[in-house]
């Protein structure tokens, strides 16, 4: 955490400046206005470091809080209801994620694409027109490419080959 170190160094420098400027010789050499300006400048620099370091950390939280204030989360389905989490002893985060998605009727994009590809292949089997079949094959192959980019390697599909 380099920003903490930087902040600590700034605070140490501020304390050092205060203690050294409190020396009687330096106080006599500088008038009170110059002393106040120098201390104020050092304090502003340290405060800027504090603000900068916290804004990066809290950026996502501020976006979520802003959305809550606007009411973006008010009309979500299942609001206020507990999530249906299994009490499984063997905790697998990926398994839990997919189960939670399925229980809330949300599918990953690659599974939706898989269903679309299967439907298009069924339409292709029933089709007798070669022009429409060629269009279907192009569409299927585009969806297969997108599917293969999103899915795990074990779930990849092969492209449809054209024989005409």
8 A C-beta contact, residue 113 and residue 150: yes
Could you tell me if residue 100 is inside a domain? yes
Share of the chain above pLDDT 90, in %: 18
Residues 94 and 162 in one domain: yes
Residues 58 and 94 in one domain: no
Top-confidence residue, 55 or 42: 42
3-state secondary structure of 14: helix
Of the pLDDT bands very low, low, confident and very high (cuts 50, 70, 90), residue 13 is: confident
pLDDT at 58 over 80: no
Lowest mean pLDDT among 78-82, 124-128, 129-133: 78-82
Residues 150 and 119 in one domain: yes
Could you tell me if residue 75 is inside a domain? no
Please provide residue 152's backbone torsions phi and psi, each rounded to the nearest 5 degrees: -65, 155
What is the domain count for the chain?
2
Query: What pLDDT is stored for residue 95 in this prediction?
Result: 79
Residues 63 and 121 in one domain: no
Residues 58 and 22 in one domain: yes
Could you tell me if residue 33 is inside a domain? yes
Could you tell me if residue 79 is inside a domain? no
| pTM of structure | 0.42
Of the pLDDT bands very low, low, confident and very high (cuts 50, 70, 90), residue 116 is: very high
Residues 62 and 129 in one domain: no
| Residue 33 structural domain | 2-70
Top-confidence residue, 20 or 74: 74
Residues 150 and 95 in one domain: yes
Query: What pLDDT is stored for residue 31 in this prediction?
Result: 67
Closest of 53, 61, 43, 46 to residue 1, by C-alpha: 53
Query: What pLDDT is stored for residue 117 in this prediction?
Result: 94
Domain end point (choices 20, 40, 70): 70
């Amino acid at each position: 955490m380099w920003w903490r170190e930087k902040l600590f160094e700034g605070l140490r420098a501020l304390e050092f400046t205060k203690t050294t400027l409190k020396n009687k010789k330096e106080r006599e050499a500088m008038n009170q206005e110059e002393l106040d300006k120098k201390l104020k400048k050092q304090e502003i620099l340290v405060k800027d470091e504090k603000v900068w370091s916290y804004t990066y950390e809290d950026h996502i939280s501020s976006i979520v809080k802003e959305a809550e204030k606007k009411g973006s989360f008010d009309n979500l389905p299942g609001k206020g209801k507990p999530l249906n989490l299994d009490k499984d002893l063997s905790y697998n985060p990926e398994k839990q994620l997919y189960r939670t998605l399925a229980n809330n009727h949300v599918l990953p994009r690659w599974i939706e694409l898989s269903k679309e590809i299967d439907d298009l292949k069924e339409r292709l089997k029933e089709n007798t027109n070669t022009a429409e079949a060629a269009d279907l094959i192009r569409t299927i192959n585009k969806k297969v490419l997108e599917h293969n980019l999103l899915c795990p390697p074990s779930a990849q599909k092969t492209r449809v080959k054209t024989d005409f």
